[in-house]
């Protein structure tokens, strides 16, 4: 089963804007039922600011729909200076083993 992991970084000066945008974006784009949110918006303070991580699990057949949802959601932050993000795809080890003929 695929995992979509979203990483977000922003400077301390933008914390209030990012928090408000997050709440607004959740209202505009509620998390669809195809996404099982395993880690919702866990945060960590770094010397550069704040780092947020979401870990979402989806079924293979819902991967592209979930990926499109995350893209739309994250585009809501595009006008906040200093916000950077990355959405990465991870698979389970059993799937990787199958790909190399060991599963």
Angle at 96 between CA 91 and CA 98, to 5 degrees: 130
Position 84 scores a pLDDT of 97
Q: Which CATH architecture has domain 3-99?
A: 2-Layer Sandwich (3.30)
Mean pLDDT by groups of 10 residues along the chain of 103 residues: 95 97 97 97 93 97 97 97 97 81 78
For the chain, the residue count is: 103
The enclosing H or E element of 25 equals helix 15-28
Dihedral angle over CA of 71, 35, 44, 50, nearest 10:
20
Task: Flag whether the pTM goes above 0.85.
Answer: yes
What are the sequence ranges of the domains in the chain?
3-99
CA 34 to chain centroid:
14
């Amino acid at each position: 089963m695929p995992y979509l992991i979203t990483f977000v970084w922003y400077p301390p000066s933008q914390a209030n804007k990012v928090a408000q945008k997050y709440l607004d974006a959740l209202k505009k784009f509620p998390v669809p039922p195809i996404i099982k949110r395993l880690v919702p918006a866990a945060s960590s303070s770094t010397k550069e600011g704040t780092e947020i991580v979401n870990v979402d699990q989806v079924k293979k057949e819902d991967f592209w729909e979930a990926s499109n949802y995350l893209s739309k959601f994250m585009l809501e932050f595009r006008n906040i200076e200093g916000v950077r993000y990355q959405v990465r795809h991870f698979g389970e080890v059993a799937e990787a083993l199958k790909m190399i003929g060991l599963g």
